[in-house]
Amino acid sequence: MLSASRALVGIAATSIADIEGIVTIGQLRVLMLLATRDEVNLAAVARELDVNPSNASRTVDRLHKAGLIDRYDSPTDRRHLALTLTDAGSALVQGVNGRRRAAVESILHTMTPSARQSLAASLRKFAAAAGEPAEGGAAALLWPPIT
C-alpha cells in the first residue's frame, strides 16, 4: 500500500506542477471539493478540510478574489452562502485531473484487464471507506472509468 501511495503522490505532485503560484494545495483541495459535491457552504469546507471556519473563510475569500469560485445565497438555506466553481475554477480542476488521468491511464494500460478490474474493485472499496463520493456522482465527471 505504501508503494502504491508513493506512486499516486508522485502522480498528484506532477499533475499540479502547472498551477504552482496560482493556487496553494489547500486552495486546490477546496476547488476539488466544490467539483465533487453538489452544494457546498463555508461550514462544509471547514468540516471537510478539518480546519477552523476562519481558515476556511480566508481560503474561500482568496479563491473568490482570484475568480475561481462564486458565492451566492444558498437556495436551500438563506443563512448560508453556497460556493460553486467559476468557469476558470472548473478549467483549473479539469486540467489537474486531465494530467492525473493521463498518467494513471499510462500505468493502467501496462496491466492486464483482469488486474485492472481487481484494482478498480479494491480502490472503490478503499475510496468508500475514506468517505469519497460514490462512482457515478459528480466525481465520475472528473475521473471517468478506464476502458
Domains of the chain, start order: 2-109 (1.10.10.10)
pLDDT(141) > 70: no
Distance CA(1)–CA(6), nearest Å, equals 9
**CA pair distance 54, 8, nearest whole angstrom:** 31
Looking at residue 74, what is its pLDDT? 78
Q: Which pLDDT tens digit goes with each residue over 3-35?
A: 989 999 999 999 998 898 899 999 999 999 999
User: What is the pLDDT, as a whole number, of residue 135?
Assistant: 60
pLDDT at 60: 95
> Of the candidates 122, 98, 125, which has an alpha carbon nearest to the alpha carbon of residue 111?
122
> Span 66-77, mean pLDDT?
88
